[in-house]
């Protein structure tokens, strides 16, 4: 779900799940909404609050996402990408 938060006169935060982002988008992890076991595993892989994530590629029919996080490349299934809440800054 797309949410906005105004920072100042011209800047806003745009919140989305990782699965809603387009190829080439660079964002930061806000939180992971999942069961503790998966959340811990994603933390171990580098998906911690404030970590920079870039979407490199999306498979046909959006079944998997290829992402870079903290200088490592991972493929995430769509079900997992939907659980990672991210944000990026946009200027109006």
Kindly state the average pLDDT of the residues 42-56.
96
Domain limits at 29?
3-91
Partners of 67 in the β-ladder = 55, 74
**Cβ(32)–Cβ(16) below 8 Å:** no
pLDDT digits (tens, 9 = 90+) for 72-84: 999 999 999 999 9
Predicted TM-score of the model (pTM)? 0.85
Question: What pLDDT is recorded for position 73?
Answer: 96
The closest alpha carbon to 31, from 22, 21, 42, 23, belongs to: 42
Domain with residue 66: its CATH number is 2.30.30.90
Question: What pLDDT is recorded for position 80?
Answer: 97
d(CA 83, CA 31) in angstroms, rounded, equals 9
Give how many domains the chain has, as a whole number.
1
| DSSP conformation class of 12 | E
């Amino acid at each position: 779900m797309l949410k906005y938060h105004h920072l100042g006169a011209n800047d806003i935060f745009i919140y989305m799940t990782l699965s809603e982002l387009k190829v080439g988008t660079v964002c930061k992890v806000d939180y992971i909404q999942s069961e503790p076991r998966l959340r811990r595993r994603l933390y171990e892989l580098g998906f911690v609050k404030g970590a920079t994530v870039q979407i490199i590629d999306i498979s046909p029919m959006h079944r998997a996402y290829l992402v870079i996080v903290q200088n490592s490349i991972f493929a995430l299934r769509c079900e997992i990408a939907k659980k990672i809440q991210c944000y990026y800054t946009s200027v109006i």
